[in-house]
Structure formats: structure tokens, C-alpha cells
Amino acid sequence: MFRPVPVVIAFLMTLSITEIVSAREKTGLVLSGGGARGFAHVAVLEALETNEVQIDYIAGTSMGAVVGALYASGLSAAEVREKLLSVDWNSTLQDVTDRNERSFRNKSFEGRNFLGLDLGIGPESVRLPLAALRGQKLALALNELMLETATVSDFDALPIPFRAMATDLATGDAVVLGSGSLATALRASMAVPVVYSPVGIDGRLYVDGGVANNLPIDVARDMGADRVIAVDTSSLRYSTNELTSVVTVVDQLTNLLTRRNTEAQLEKLTDKDLLIEIFPEGIATAEFNKAENALALGRESLSAVPDIFSSFAVDSENYAIWNNNRLDRDEPPTLAFVEVISDAPRTSSKTIANRLTVRPGQPLDNVRLKSDLGKIYALETIDQVEVSVVERDDQVGLSLETKEKAWGPDYLDFGFTLEDSLDGRASYNLNGVIRATNINPLGGEWRTELTLGDKTRVTSELYQPIDYGSDWFATAVVGFLREDRALYEQGTLTSSYATETREFGFDAGYSLDTRGEFRIGFRQAKIKNNKLLGVESLSAKVDDSRYFARAGFDTLDALGFPTQGVRVLGEYSIYDATLGATRQYDGVTLDILYPLYHNTGTTILGQGYLGYLFETAVADVTPRYSLGGFTRLSGYSPNEISGRHAGLLSLMGYQRLNEHSIVPIDQPLFIGFSLEAGNVFQDRDDLRWDKTLSGGSLFIGADTAVGPGYLSFGRTEGGRQSVTLSVGRPFAERD
């Protein structure tokens, strides 16, 4: 039976609820920039949830944009906190690519200690990068944080509509970012001028939104907010007496950029709005190692005013409905296609596509995609990757848009090494390298290195993958080396030679991605030994042509002061008369470095080295192997003892003395020791343990911007001792 009264009542109740909802004033949340201090925003999110405050719009700048975007994307305050604290912000904002993300080939060049200047070169001039740091690690971190929103291109479609602030670098105008890739928008909002590269979006370059609008209250109002909760974590200006370090000076410059526009926005607040000012004392903009301190201070500030959100709270039932809807998430989409759109004239999209493990027909895997993005940036020619999930012809797919470095594709870098025993025997070298990248569609690279100092070396290598992104490769190498070589007998200089080596050769091999490689090839080498003084020890002319097989495996997390992983390098050489060698014999080298223990800054390393020639009866075989110098029989001067066979076992330990910081003057410092046993032998019969020398060293070290540095005191049995200063050559590396 039709009963109209209940229907009318139901209609009136629905109408009443609609009127109540529509009558509720919409609340906008505005989160300022402030660097590390921005972690205090998470305390505000926690308080909003505790007090059941429904947020309808969010606008943020820089770190405030990151916190706001995570909350707007459907995460709880606890999930926002967990995600943010899971990021190693110090490493991320320093833009130091994790060593395990670099190709094995690039790892092998680290011992040359290039500074990573990344200067672009062209026919007319040297082109500088647009900032000190490219922001690739930041881009990776933001992509990982925002992968769950990769399907969203309109920020109004997020569970809470969101806007990020940026600044147009060309005009200085504030720009509201409300569409596109959320991760890219956040990177633009965080791109501190000069420090991080500007972010290109639709043909315009954007930098940190704090420059133009650090507290975007007007943006929240334009989105539809009737009232605003504004949270300001940007610091007040320092007084003259407080400007006592580079940290406070950099912080002050940031404040000067942002404070004026912040104060202009504060004037837009009305009696209906709420301003929360949290200025965590003792936490500078760049001190991300104090993120948890900023969060704790934010909680402390809010606990002092428990009823601060009382006028913004909604009834529990409506809040629960809204919050449940906000937190509801879809399952990751199954990909129908994966495409690469390359805005990189010399980096083929096929090369990039072949590095991907994300495949059509599979659900979008955030962990796998993060690894793939790391591989793309490891090409070291890509400046920006924009990730989005797109729908096309009723199919969902993954789209990666890549942009090449604007100042490439050819690059110049410099570095230096020194090893000085402080007794007049020293090695100083200035190094330079030119890299011409992607010289053909398959990703070939032409690399030329020059060393000037106690050595003169020129090496030029053409590296060629055999297919797009292939692990198989071939190389052609040509080189010249001139060095003065001193030969000692029981610590006494017996002769000195000026040695010149000219060589060329070809290799072919297979790369195990970032972990290692195997290659075989040959070198045609001609050596001239010109005696400068002393007795005749070396032949005037030697042909050292050889075939070789070389293998390497390297998963160390660092080369200067590693804490985990392993490195194994081995080579077998056949000095073959049919190739032109003066004498026929074989040789093998093996070098192993393995961190045995690491905990709370303490690391113990083991290292083993072996060099062995299988033919010792040949009188004029050039001594192949040498020891001496820091951790290589530390009481001796560098390369003081040489011969046809060598063996060395070392145990090294070091303790980190300070916490890591992104402030350049606050570098990691270490104190350590080494225990060593080994020797160099002329005859095979001498290869016995009772013929070894023992010694060790005490050292202090630093992982500096110009490479690892060590100041050591070494002593070897028999009373030999030395003081050695070494910069740029890790103790794990041999020349």
C-alpha cells in the first residue's frame, strides 16, 4: 500500500540534512613552508583528527605542500608521519645518488675522485647547471611518496582538493599548481633557488613557492574556503647577535625571501579564521636530522591550547562518514600499457623503456617503479621524470615523461688526488674528464680523461652498448702514461726511471646492472724505461701486450668509508708473444673488500689483495705489483716496495664521531686503525707467511666534498714508520 506521509517525512529529512551540510562553512587548511620546521605541520594534522575537524581544502608551500598533499591524498595523520619519517631527508636533499643505484661502470671511476661538477660543454662555451643540485633524489622521494596518487591529474579529484604554490622564475609571480603530476608540482614548490634546479612545467621554469607566497591564505579562499586554519612554521628573523654561523646566515636569507609575503597574507585573516604559529627554536631550515624534534615541539605548542579547534569541530557522525570516505582507497590499477615519452634528443626512449621492469598486464607495483626510476636517473643524462597513470580508450596505463639535462649532453668534471708521506716523497695529481653522452641512438659514450702532476696520463674510451639499453657492450681504448718510477732495495733508493707507456685495445663484456660486470679483451702496450739515476733495473723497451679476462662485483654503500656490501675485483692476464709481448707469461690479481661488522657508527673491514705472476724465471719481467702507503703496509712510503708477487691482508676499523648533516662544513668525521700483514716477493719460493711484514696505522678521516681524506701514523715491523696525508684516493682503491 502506498503510504505518502513517510515519503514526505523522508524527503523533508533529506532536505534538512542537505541544508545543514550546505550551510556548514567550508574550512581551508593552509600550511607554510619552513624546511625542517615544516614537520610541525604533522602535529597539526594529529590535532585536527583528535578534535574531529573536517578539512575541505588544502593549500601549501614547500614542505607544507608535501605534508598537505599527503593528507589530501587520503592518508591519516599517522600515515603521513610514517611516510615522512621513512625518508632519509639528509641524503635526499643533498642529492647524493645512492651508490647501489649507480652503474658498475660509473662506480669504477670513483677512485679518480671527480667532484661531480657536471659542467656542460659545447662548441662555444661551458654551460653551468641551473643550480648547485639537480634534485634527482628529491624527485625520486616525492615520486615514491605520491605514487598512490599517480592516477590523479586534477588536484580537485583528490579526497581533499589541493593546491601547491610555486614561483615563476622568469617573472617572480606566484603560481598556483592544481593539475598535472602531483610529485612534479611538489618538487617545483620545494625547488629552493640556486640550490635545486628549477622544474620545467608546460614550458615555464618554477622554483620554491615561498619566494612569492609562503602562506597561501588567498589561494584557500579562492578554492571556496569560508574560513581558514593557517599554520605558519617559517621562522622569524634573526637578530645581529644571533647570526653566528653559516647555518643561521642561510636560514636568515630564507627568512628574508619569505617573511614579507607571509606578513602580507596574514593581513587577509579575519575573526573567523585561526592562525597557528609554531616556530621550533634551535631548528634551522636545512636541519632535517631534527625532524622529529620539530614534530615534538609542534605537539607541545598545541597541547598548551587544548580548545583551539573547538569552533571548527563537526559532529562525530558526520566526521566519521567524511573521514572514512577520505581514507577509502582503490586497489592499484592493472596496467594495459607502459609508455615512455622522451623530451631528450640524445637519450632514446627505447633505452629508457628497456630499463623498466614494470610491465603491461601487471598491477602497478610502487616498489618496482621506484627501482625503475632510480635506474633511469642512473643514466646521468636525465634531469626530470614525470610519472602519471593515464586512461586511454578505456584502458589504464603508465606514462613516463623524461626530460634531458638542459646543459648537456656533453660534460666536464675535475678532481684531484694526493698522497704525501711528509718526508719528501709525494704524489699529487689533477684530474679532468670530458664525457660525450648518447653519441648515437644506442647510448654510446666517449670518455676522455687527463691527469697532470707526478703522472701525465691521457685515456680515451669509446663505450658502446650493442642494443637499446642492452647489458652487452663493447669498448675501444687508447691511452698514454708518463710517470717517474723509483725502485728501492730495503728502503734505499737504487734507481729512478722515467717510464712512458702507449697502449690501445678492445674489450667486450656483459654488465650485471649496478652490481658488476665481466669483460674480455686485449691491450697492445709499448713501454719505454729511461733511466734517470742509479743501477740498471729495467729493460729500456718492453712490449707488455696481453689478453685478459676481468670480473668485478661491487655492492659497497660507499668507497671512502663503507659500512655494508662487498667488492671483489679480479683479472687474469696472458702476456702473449703472438700479440707482441716481449716475454710469454701469465698473471692474476684479486682484490676483496668486505665490511665484517657495522653498528652505531662502528665499522670493521677486512681486505685481501693478491698479485701473482706464473713465470718468475724470466729475468726482465717488469715488476708488476707494489705496496707501501696508507693501509698498504703503512710504515712504508707509497709504492716503495715492488716485485713480481704481492700479498696483503688488512683489518681496518673506524668509528664515526659526528652526526651527518647537509651543512657543507659539517662533514662526517672518523677515527680508526688498521692492522696489516703482507709483502712483495721476487721469487715464487719466497711466498711464505714467515716472509711477511706486519704493521698498522692509526688515522683520522673525513668524507669531504673533495673525496675521502686521511691523516695517518703508520708503523711496520723493523721500525719503519711514516706519517701520511691522503686525499681523494679511498683506502679501498689502488692505482
Q: Indicate which residues carry an active-site annotation.
A: 62, 208
The answer to whether 458 and 448 have CB atoms below 8 angstroms apart is: yes
DSSP 206-233: EEEGGGT-SS-HHHHHHHT-SEEEEEE-
Cα 256 to Cα 43, 253, 262, distances in angstroms: 26, 5, 10
**For cell 704525501, what's the residue?**
420
Return d(Cα 100, Cα 553) in angstroms, integer. Answer: 11
Cα–Cα distance, 71 to 159 (Å, whole number): 9
Rounded-to-integer distance, Cα 550 and Cα 573, Å:
9
Q: Which residues of 694-726 are buried (b: 16+ CB within 10 A; e: fewer)?
A: bbbbebebbbeeebbbbbbbbbbeeebebebeb
Residue 404 pairs in a beta bridge with: 382
Q: How far is CA 589 from CA 280, 572, 611, 614, in A?
A: 56, 7, 4, 11
- How far is it, in rounded angstroms, from Cα 499 to Cα 525? 13
Contacts of 459 by beta carbon, 8 Å cutoff, 6+ apart: 448, 449, 477, 478, 479, 480
Identify the H or E element spanning 519: strand 516-534
> Can you name the residues that pair with 499 across neighbouring β-strands?
483, 529
How would you classify residue 48: left for phi > 0, otherwise alpha for psi between -120 and 50, otherwise beta? Answer: alpha
Give the angle 151-155-157 at the CA atoms, nearest 5°: 70
CB 421 within 8 A of CB 638: yes
Task: Give dist(CA 560, CA 503) in Å, integer.
Answer: 30
Residue 118 φ/ψ region, left for φ over 0, alpha for ψ in the -120 to 50 degree band, beta for the rest = left
**Cβ partners under 8 Å of residue 705, min gap 6:** 115, 664, 667
Amino acid letter, residue 328: D
